[in-house]
C-alpha cells in the first residue's frame, strides 16, 4: 500500500511539473504587455522598460520560469497566497462533487430497481438535460430566475458578513453548489446505472440469487461494490473538467476563490498570480485523481495495491 502510494504521488508530482511548464510558457506566448496594462496607454517606453526590468520581464523566458518556479516551490512564498483563495474553491467543489457522487449512487440504484417504468424514463431525460446544460448558462439562468425575478436567493455566492450563520451561508451557496452538482451528476448516474446492469448479469450475482438473496441485497451488497470502482475512476478523470466548471461558477456568483482570482489576473495581464493560480487549479484536478485511486481500497477491501 505505502509503495503504491509513493509511486502514485511521484507520478502526480511529475505531472504537476509538466503542467507548470506548459502553463507558464502558454501564458507568456501572449504578446500583451503587463507593464503597459499597469502603467496605461500613455506611459512612455522608458517607464515601461524600467517596470519590465523591475519585474524581471526583460529576462529570457526560461530564466523567468526558473525564478517563478524557485519562488513558488523552493522558497514556499506562494503558500500564503494559495491559502487565501483555496478554501472557497475547495468548499464549492467538495460540496458539489460530494452531493453529485452520493446522488448518482442513489439515482442509479433506483433506476435499476424501477427499470422501464415512467419514472425511470423521466429521470433519464432529466439526467440527459443536466449533463448537456452548459454551466455558465445554468448559472445565469438561476441568477435571473431565483435572485432577480423571484427574489428568493441572493445573487452572490458569499455573504457580505462572516457572522450571518449557517442558514445565510446555505442560501448564498445553494445555487453555486447546484450548478457544480448538475455538471457532474448526470453523466455519473447514467454511467453507474450501465455498470450496475452489467454487474447484475455476472456469475457471482447469479450465485447470490441462487443462495436465496433478495434483489435489494443483491444490488446493494454485490453489484454495487463491483460497479463503484469504474465510477471512482470516472470521477477522478472528471476532476479537471469540473475545475473548469468551478471557475465559471466563481465568476458568475462573485465567489472569491482561485478560479475567479485567476480570471481577474488574466484580465489585468498580471502573469505572476495567473500562473500561480492556474497551477493551483491544476493541482486540485490532479489531487482528485489521486484520491480516487486511494479510495478503491475503501470501496472494496479485497483490492491489494502493489
CB atoms inside a 10 Å sphere around CB 96: 25
Q: pLDDT tens-digit profile of 183-236?
A: 999 999 999 999 898 888 888 778 877 777 777 777 877 788 788 888 888 888
**Domains (range + CATH), the chain:** 79-299 (1.10.3720.10)
Rounded to an integer, what distance in angstroms lies between the CA atom of residue 94 and that of residue 184?
A: 12
pLDDT reading at 168 higher than 70: yes
Q: What is the pLDDT of residue 103?
A: 95
Question: Confidence band (pLDDT; 50, 70, 90) for 264?
Answer: confident
Rounded to an integer, what distance in angstroms lies between the CA atom of residue 93 and that of residue 187?
A: 17
Question: Confidence band (pLDDT; 50, 70, 90) for 29?
Answer: low
The overall pTM is greater than 0.75: yes
Question: Confidence band (pLDDT; 50, 70, 90) for 65?
Answer: confident
Counts of helices then strands in the chain (DSSP H, E): 14, 0
Q: Residue 116, class by beta-carbon neighbours within 10 Å (0-12 exposed, 13-18 middle, 19+ buried)?
A: exposed
Question: Confidence band (pLDDT; 50, 70, 90) for 162?
Answer: low
Rounded to an integer, what distance in angstroms lies between the CA atom of residue 264 and that of residue 97?
A: 25
What is the maximal distance between C-alpha atoms in the chain? 85
Are 176 and 89 spatial neighbours (Cβ–Cβ below 8 Å)? no
Cell reading at 279: 497551477
pLDDT reading at 38 higher than 70: no
Q: What is the pLDDT of residue 303?
A: 62
Average pLDDT value over all residues in the chain: 83
Q: pLDDT tens-digit profile of 110-154?
A: 999 888 899 999 999 999 999 999 999 999 999 999 999 998 999
Rounded to an integer, what distance in angstroms lies between the CA atom of residue 111 and that of residue 160?
A: 41
Most confident of 3-17, 190-204, 261-275: 190-204
Are 186 and 128 spatial neighbours (Cβ–Cβ below 8 Å)? yes
Rounded to an integer, what distance in angstroms lies between the CA atom of residue 96 and that of residue 173?
A: 10
- Average pLDDT of 295-303? 65
The per-residue b/e assignment along 175-193, b for 16 or more CB within 10 angstroms, e otherwise, is: bbbbbbbbbbbbbbbbbbb
Residue with the bigger pLDDT between 249 and 55: it is 249
Q: Quick one: which of 194, 191, 190 has its CA closest to 124?
A: 190
Give the range among 99-108, 150-159, 206-215 with minimum mean pLDDT: 206-215
pLDDT reading at 301 higher than 70: no
Amino acid at each position: 500500500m505505502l509503495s503504491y502510494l509513493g509511486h502514485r504521488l511521484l507520478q502526480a508530482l511529475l505531472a504537476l511539473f509538466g503542467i507548470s511548464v506548459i502553463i507558464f510558457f502558454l501564458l507568456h506566448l501572449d504578446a500583451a504587455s503587463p507593464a503597459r496594462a499597469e502603467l496605461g496607454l500613455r506611459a512612455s517606453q522608458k517607464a515601461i522598460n524600467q517596470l519590465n526590468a523591475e519585474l524581471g520581464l526583460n529576462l529570457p523566458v526560461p530564466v523567468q520560469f526558473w525564478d517563478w518556479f524557485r519562488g513558488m516551490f523552493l522558497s514556499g512564498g506562494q503558500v500564503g497566497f494559495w491559502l487565501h483563495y483555496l478554501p472557497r474553491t475547495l468548499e464549492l467543489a467538495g460540496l458539489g462533487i460530494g452531493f453529485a457522487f452520493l446522488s448518482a449512487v442513489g439515482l442509479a440504484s433506483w433506476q435499476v430497481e424501477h427499470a422501464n417504468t415512467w419514472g425511470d424514463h423521466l429521470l433519464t431525460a432529466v439526467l440527459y438535460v443536466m449533463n448537456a446544460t452548459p454551466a455558465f448558462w445554468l448559472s445565469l439562468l438561476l441568477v435571473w430566475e431565483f435572485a432577480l425575478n423571484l427574489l428568493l436567493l441572493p445573487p452572490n455566492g458569499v455573504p457580505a458578513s462572516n457572522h450571518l450563520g449557517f442558514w445565510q451561508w446555505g442560501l448564498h451557496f445553494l445555487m453555486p453548489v447546484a450548478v457544480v452538482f448538475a455538471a457532474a451528476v448526470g453523466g455519473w448516474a447514467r454511467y453507474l446505472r450501465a455498470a450496475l446492469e452489467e454487474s447484475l448479469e455476472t456469475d457471482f450475482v447469479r450465485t447470490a440469487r441462487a443462495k436465496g438473496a433478495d434483489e435489494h441485497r443483491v444490488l446493494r451488497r454485490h453489484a454495487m461494490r463491483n460497479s463503484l470502482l469504474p465510477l471512482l475512476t470516472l470521477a477522478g478523470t472528471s476532476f479537471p473538467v469540473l475545475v473548469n466548471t468551478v471557475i465559471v461558477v466563481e465568476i458568475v456568483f462573485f465567489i472569491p476563490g482561485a478560479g475567479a482570482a485567476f480570471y481577474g489576473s488574466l484580465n489585468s495581464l498580471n502573469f505572476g498570480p495567473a500562473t500561480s493560480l492556474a497551477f493551483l487549479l491544476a493541482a486540485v484536478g490532479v489531487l482528485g485523481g489521486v484520491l480516487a485511486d486511494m479510495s478503491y481500497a475503501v470501496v472494496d477491501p479485497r483490492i491489494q495495491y502493489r
